[in-house]
Amino acid sequence: MNELKQSSRAGAAARLLLATDLGPGCDRAMDRAAQLTGEWGGELTALIVGNLLSSPERILAWAEGADEKALTEAVRQQLMRELKAAGVDAQARVVNHADKAAAIRETAQAVGADVIVCGASGRGLLERVLGSTVERLAGTAAQPLLLVRRRPAGPYRKIAVATDCSASSRQALLSAAGLFPQRELDLCHVVTPLMSGLAAPRHGGDSVDMAQTELPEFIAATQLPAGSRIKPSVQRGSVETALTNYVRRHDVELVVLGSHGRSGLLDLLIGSTAMKLLEWLPCDVLLVPDSRARGT
């Protein structure tokens, strides 16, 4: 998926894939997926993937002689009931696959998904999801990955895009501008003197002054859609602290992050720092992949 397609597709009937396990908190991701589908005039596919014998009801059905096909259909019907109860119009798919990340990735490709939506509400669920599925998806999925932790109260009103002025963060900005046209986007550049032990930033002298000069140049060099409104800001501190404080101060509802960067941003999104950052952020997070990092 190239930058142009990734940043403009959503305005023209985007396809979303909702990956769910129908567990606690899944209604938040389901409601957000439905809201975005309506906002974008798109199509929604809901997917359950995993062990079909993971609930007492399914174990009882298996004990009564139901085969895998019958179990799969029972799970699909359960998903359809949940979608209907939530007022969500979507196709339902069930995949019995030990590798959840691979199944989600393959289904996203099969349905032509532009965005993958997953739930991440509650600390325990967040830790489980990150450890088992989302961490791998963030590093391998071709589509932006939306992690939902807040109950939606309508369209996203306040959106922030984190940047290190790399090509990857430019792609994240383009995606945000394409997915949410005419929405003002806060572009946040976090300057960390020691970069939390990662590679030192290229800024010399006063890094904040340098970043304040570089940020407008970065915006000017980005081919944003007409009508895009970008509000740049430079924050000082560790990424997780500065970004979380900014989100809380400005009531940000969605943070958009690129998955690679010149200062090791991939490590910020996949690994221990990702756990800290995504636990601390009190809002939804959109992880945007860098197609060039995958050679696609």
Q: Looking at the predicted structure, is the pLDDT value of residue 245 above 90?
A: yes
Q: 111 and 13: one domain?
A: yes
Q: Looking at the predicted structure, is the pLDDT value of residue 252 above 90?
A: yes
φ, ψ for residue 219, nearest 5 deg: -65, -45
b/e code 169-199 from CB counts within 10 Å (16+ = b):
bbbbbbbbbbbbbebebbbbbbbbeebbebe
Supply the pLDDT for residue 51: 61
Q: Looking at the predicted structure, is the pLDDT value of residue 173 above 70?
A: yes
Q: 142 and 177: one domain?
A: no
The model's pTM is: 0.82
End position of a domain, from candidates 121, 148, 175? 148
Q: Looking at the predicted structure, is the pLDDT value of residue 108 above 80?
A: yes
Q: Looking at the predicted structure, is the pLDDT value of residue 215 above 80?
A: yes
% of the chain residues with pLDDT over 70: 73
Q: Looking at the predicted structure, is the pLDDT value of residue 160 above 90?
A: yes
Q: 132 and 232: one domain?
A: no
Give the whole-angstrom CA distance, residue 42 versus residue 76: 22
Q: Which residue has the higher pLDDT, 154 or 211?
A: 154
Q: 180 and 233: one domain?
A: yes
Q: Which residue has the higher pLDDT, 86 or 200?
A: 86
For 24, the domain range is 3-148
CATH assignment of the domain containing 54:
3.40.50.620
Q: 216 and 80: one domain?
A: no
Read off the pLDDT of residues 82-96 as tens digits, 9 standing for 90 and up: 888 878 889 999 888
Q: 110 and 213: one domain?
A: no
Q: 174 and 193: one domain?
A: yes
Read off the pLDDT of residues 11-48 as tens digits, 9 standing for 90 and up: 545 899 999 877 766 889 999 999 999 999 999 999 98
Q: Which two tokens stand for residue 162?
A: 């984190």
End position of a domain, from candidates 119, 148, 177? 148
Number of domains within the chain: 2
- Helical H segments across 93-166, by residue range: 100-111, 123-129, 135-140
